[in-house]
Amino acid sequence: MSAIYEDVLQTLEMGQKLALATLMARRGSAPGSLGAKMLIRQDGSTVGSIGGGCVEAEVWDAGRAAMASGGAPSAGLPAELGRDG
């Protein structure tokens, strides 16, 4: 089992909410590899990375918002996430 899934299981066993982000697509050069995953825990801590920077911060915010609302974000965040204009 991948290490991040072990962290997901452990987090759920502790009764914490979580969000799991997966990088599904990208445009141009980006530091994250397709399939990269980031676990966002209820306490705000993370495991893994989808590439860092502003986009990762926006994904962290979206994950925290989804946990707070009790729902899930849309199937994916906008393709233009993190881009100006």
Query: From the first residue on, what is the mean pLDDT of each consecutive set of 10 residues in the chain (85 residues)?
Result: 89 94 78 88 94 86 89 58 45
Q: How far apart are CA 34 and CA 50, in angstroms?
A: 8
Q: Give me the pLDDT at residue 26, please.
A: 75
Q: Give me the pLDDT at residue 2, please.
A: 80
The residue among 36, 39, 35, 34 whose CA lies nearest residue 9 is: 39
Beta strands in the chain (DSSP E): 18-22, 37-41, 46-48
Domains of the chain: which residue ranges? 3-69
Q: Give me the pLDDT at residue 77, please.
A: 60
Q: Give me the pLDDT at residue 79, please.
A: 47
Q: Give me the pLDDT at residue 29, please.
A: 67
Q: How far apart are CA 53 and CA 75, in angstroms?
A: 22
Concatenated DSSP letters of 42-54: TTS-EEE-SS-HH
Asked if 43 contacts 69 with a C-beta cutoff of 8 angstroms, the reply is no
